Chains A and B, each alone.
Chain A
Amino acid sequence: MTYNLGISKIDELIGDIKGGTNIMMIGPPMSGKDDITNIIAYHGLINKNAAVIVSTREPGNNVLDWFESRDLSIPSEHIGIVDCVTRTLGFGAPDTENIKMASSPVDLTGIGVKISQFFERFWMEMQLKETRLCINSLSTILMYSNLQTVFRFLHVFTGRVKAANALGVYVIEDGMHDDKTIVTLKQLFDGMIEIREKDDGYQMRATGFASKPTPWFDYEIDGVNIILRG
């Protein structure tokens, strides 16, 4: 059971990612992390993976729209979104097939339950044995709960990703947290996708997958593709 990110040159350099891997994606605001996260999920969906996306900044419907507006041929029943936004805004929206509502980003118990329910549905009912879990983003969760709390939550769920041979991607806003936070959380991850600002644009690289980091690549996002240069 292996995974690829769907970012061509980086995939070639790091090779197959083995099931049970947890990846932290860290980058500055506006660098397209939402798109990159969704593209990683999308790349799974077109390969018969399931995708579970925990959304803390966008209502679940927006996330679903992202996929549907780009490619109607992906099986939407393979997408599960945990929406931590809608009910925080005071809307009593019910759960749907694709979207389960958590009460708020503080509601880690609820978020955990919804993730588990999607895992169960995809694995047991739909027999999808490859699942990508994307949490976008840990930074919002860290705004409401302290580091220790978030660490405990992640300790459990990175463990579940490992047990289920899934792929976990966890997004963090660069510059928003102190070093201690980043260092503490890093312990839970097997690899990183790092993004930095360079000249007029952004660059990314992957670390932790091979003996040394990949080079930095300029990139551009075009629909469901990430085009690397350099």
Chain B
Amino acid sequence: MMKTGIPALDDHLHGGIPRGKSLVYYAYPGVECNVFGMQTMYRAVSEGGRGIYVTSSTDPRMIRDQFAEFGWDAAKYGDRFVIVDGFSGLVGANSSEQYVVSTPDDADSLTQAIKQVMEDMDEPSVIVFESLSTIMDLCGESATLDAIEEWNQYAMLYDHVIVYNFTAWPYSEDTLAHVKGDICNSVVLIGGIVEKVIFSQYFGVKKTDWDEVTKKCTLYKVLKPGGVRVYLPKILVTGPFDAGKSTFVHALSTRSVSVDRLGTTVALDYGHVDHKGFTADIFGTPGQERFDPIVKLLSGEAMGIFLILDSTNTGDFVRAKRMLEITESMGLPVVIVANKQDLEGALTPEEIRRELDMAHDAPIIPVVATSREGVFEAFDVLVDRVMEAGSI
């Protein structure tokens, strides 16, 4: 299996892309798609493999810079990072790459270069097409579709993995159906949620022929540096007064602010987390009962909830359960944070489970928010649960 380099996607693909198989990143115009192919390429070379990047709309001298923008140092991988230059020929520039497509608007010329590079690789490698749509624009739809079949067969012969970035411009319906349907072993849809403008991006596996498809869409953001990150637009942190909600939000976040007065939260805490391929916006609620209307207001459209408890303060546990009700979190993934574990008299997670009368599999994580102990464990568990729930 070759990994795509995007952990959540590798999960959806049941581990990655098997050798000899093809995958197309099929993107809605305007949604950032090339980074997917780049991340897959980078993953291959950084794991000691070989990657071949076929450029069609970018000067090859710029390719390594584009990778560097994501924090991926292509230069480090020397001749394991191979470029097939399908651009220079188009603008009449000279190329210093080893593999050059002499006439990029001729599918045969491309095929020649691609077969050559596939033969030359002495181990199964990953071939990434910067832009299949540009090739289609230059060579025509039917010639390109024929060529893809040929490339895929060749890749299968040599056990290479072949990956295409494709932007779904309004080509003929037939062409789009082919690209989205039968021509590759696997299709990953990359889409946008549109309301006047594209304001949110997601990916999801449409098809794999090596396993069952998990019908899940995952929101993502593209970070520079960083690449594709699964995005959780709203994670809620709630719990009784003084339990350590604000402290928890700050402990988790790379950026954060709180609207507090005299040490208690009166409006909200906001934090931004970037951790292990995930990026999330975290909203902390106030704890005092008089702010309950705000809690209700803040909790709309949350994807998951942290319930923060002061593990020494059993008197507040009833209130804690009440807060879960206020947030209308029925059915949402919840992680219980047993905070202040450093204090004497703190109950263990199992004692808390009994006190709260929680199900045996409800996650309760011991945490010391002031020293960040356990905060990322709690985050990982919640993210797992959210991903399992698999909502957009």
Contact across chains for B32 and A113 when beta carbons are under 8 A apart = yes
Residues 122-170 (chain B) with a chain A CB within 8 angstroms: 131, 133-134, 137-138, 165, 167, 169-170
Report the bound CA distance from A43 to B29 in whole Å. Answer: 29
Interface stretch, picked from A32-40, A72-80, A118-126, is A118-126
B31 at interface (Cβ–Cβ under 8 A)? yes
A186 at interface (Cβ–Cβ under 8 A)? no
Contact across chains for B61 and A112 when beta carbons are under 8 A apart = no
Contact across chains for A108 and B31 when beta carbons are under 8 A apart = no
Interface residues in chain B, defined as those with a beta carbon under 8 Å from any beta carbon in chain A: 27, 29-34, 56-59, 61-62, 65-66, 69, 87, 90-91, 131, 133-134, 137-138, 165, 167, 169-171, 192, 194, 196-199, 224
- The A contact surface, by secondary structure, is helix
Report the bound CA distance from A152 to B32 in whole Å. Answer: 18
Closest chain-A Cβ to B255's Cβ sits at a distance in Å of 15
Chain B residues with CB below 8 A from A87, complex form? 58-59, 62
Nearest chain-A residue to B55 (Cβ)? A103
**Please, how many residues of chain A have a CB less than 8 angstroms from a CB on the other chain?**
35
Chain A residues with CB below 8 A from B65, complex form? 92
A107 at interface (Cβ–Cβ under 8 A)? yes
Residues 88-112 (chain A) with a chain B CB within 8 angstroms: 88, 90, 92, 94-95, 103-104, 106-110, 112
Contact across chains for A120 and B198 when beta carbons are under 8 A apart = yes
A149 at interface (Cβ–Cβ under 8 A)? yes
Contact across chains for A112 and B137 when beta carbons are under 8 A apart = no
Chain A residues with CB below 8 A from B91, complex form? 88, 104, 106, 144
Nearest chain-A residue to B167 (Cβ)? A109
Contact across chains for A116 and B30 when beta carbons are under 8 A apart = yes
Closest chain-A Cβ to B279's Cβ sits at a distance in Å of 16
A156 at interface (Cβ–Cβ under 8 A)? yes
Report the bound CA distance from A107 to B197 in whole Å. Answer: 21
Which 9 residue pairs spanning A and B have beta carbons closest together?
A: A116-B30, A103-B58, A92-B65, A107-B57, A149-B137, A152-B169, A106-B57, A119-B197, A109-B167
Residues 151-209 (chain A) with a chain B CB within 8 angstroms: 152-153, 155-156, 160, 163-165
A226 at interface (Cβ–Cβ under 8 A)? no
Contact across chains for A110 and B137 when beta carbons are under 8 A apart = no
Residue of A106, A119, A123 contacting most chain B CB atoms (<10 Å): A106
Contact across chains for A90 and B59 when beta carbons are under 8 A apart = yes
B170 touches which of A106, A108, A152 (Cβ 8 Å): A152
Q: Given A104-B87, A109-B133, A116-B192, 15 more contacts at CB 8 Å?
A: A88-B91, A104-B59, A106-B56, A106-B57, A106-B134, A107-B58, A107-B134, A108-B169, A109-B27, A110-B34, A123-B196, A124-B199, A155-B170, A156-B170, A163-B194
